[in-house]
Structure 1
Amino acid sequence: MPKKFIKRFSPNPETLKAHPHLRHFGQALQNPNLWHLNRRSAAGAVAVGLFCAWMPIPFQMLLAAVVAILFTVNLPLSVALVWVSNPITMPPLFYGAYRLGAFILQENVVEFKFQLSFAWLAKILETIAPSLLLGCVIMGISSAILGYALLRLFWRFNITKKWQRRNKK
């Protein structure tokens, strides 16, 4: 069940291999373990994807691809899970991470009014960057560990159910 479910929503490996940014990895993309889906590779990909989703940087998908290649986990799944933080979910996720970081650093939460300029962005990042980065790293590590453990448990539970059904026949 989990394997079929994950494969249904995973991007096509050929499409990813042909992606302009991923073509730079060349031979590294030929490793079959990057495209194989089993409990270990899927759980690792969930951890990589969720961790990278919390990083407040551009090109999160590229970061997820690099980390997936380094740890040899399922590349399509790790890249797809980065979209947990999309343009709609990013503001509440990163604001929550900022609040967590500010709480841990015992700083006051800075209230601000959004302005669309690089000067404003540079100024506001000077004040909130440490709290935001700390909160994002903590949330990234926490969600990666939780996602990894939950997928491993879910996968094992489904395999156990399959074995029990097979033994009843």
Structure 2
Amino acid sequence: MPKRLITRWLPDPATLKQHKHLRLFGPRLLDANLWHLNRRSAAGACAVGLFMAWIPLPCQMLLAAGGAIFCRVNVPLAVALVWLSNPLTMPPLFYGAYLTGCALLGHPSEPIAIEFTWAWLASVLETVASPLLLGSLVLALLSAILGYTLTRLCWRLSTVRQWHMRRTLRSVG
């Protein structure tokens, strides 16, 4: 069940292999184990993808693919989970990371008046960068651990349920 559900939503491996930015991984990207979906690779890909979704950089998909290759887990699932932080969800996610960082550092959160200038960006980064990065790191680690654990648990529960269904069908038939 989880394998069929997950594979339905994954990007096509052929499309990812031809992606212009992912080609920099070269022959490592062609390793069949990186495209196989099992309990270990799915859980690891969830951890990598959810961790990279919290990284406040524009190249999250590339980082997720590199992390999946390094950890030898499912590349399409890791890349797909990065889209948890899409243009619509990024502001609340990173604002939550900023508030988390402020709480951990003991700093009061400051209201920010938004201006679209380089001077404003430089001044904001001086005050916001450390709480944002700390909050992002903490939430990335928590998300990765939770995603890994829940994926393993759901996969295990599905497998046990399938075993029980097979046992029931054998005893009836």
| Corresponding position of 2:59 | 59
Q: Does 1:35 align with 2:35?
A: yes
For the residues of structure 2 that align with 1:167 and 1:55, how far apart are their CA atoms? 45
1:139-158 deviation line (CA, Å, top 9, x unaligned): 00000000000000000000
Shift in Å, 1:118: 1.9
CA-atom RMSD, angstroms?
Answer: 0.6
| Corresponding position of 1:165 | 165
How many residues are matched? 169
| Corresponding position of 2:144 | 144
| Corresponding position of 2:73 | 73
**Quick one: percent identity of the two aligned structures?**
57
Q: TM-score, normalised by structure 2?
A: 0.96
Structure 2 counterpart of 1:10, which letter? L
Shift in Å, 1:121: 1.2
SS, match of residue 56 in structure 1: coil
Structure 2 counterparts to residues 9-48 of structure 1, below 5 A: 9-48=9-48
Shift in Å, 1:110: 1.3
For the residues of structure 1 that align with 2:163 and 2:108, how far apart are their CA atoms? 54
SS, match of residue 15 in structure 1: helix
Unpaired stretches in structure 2, ≥5 consecutive residues:
none
Shift in Å, 1:109: 0.6
Q: Does 1:92 align with 2:92?
A: yes
Task: Give the structure with higher Rg (CA).
Answer: 2
Q: After superposing the two structures, state which structure 1 stretch, 109-118 or 64-73, moved more.
A: 109-118
Shift in Å, 1:45: 0.3
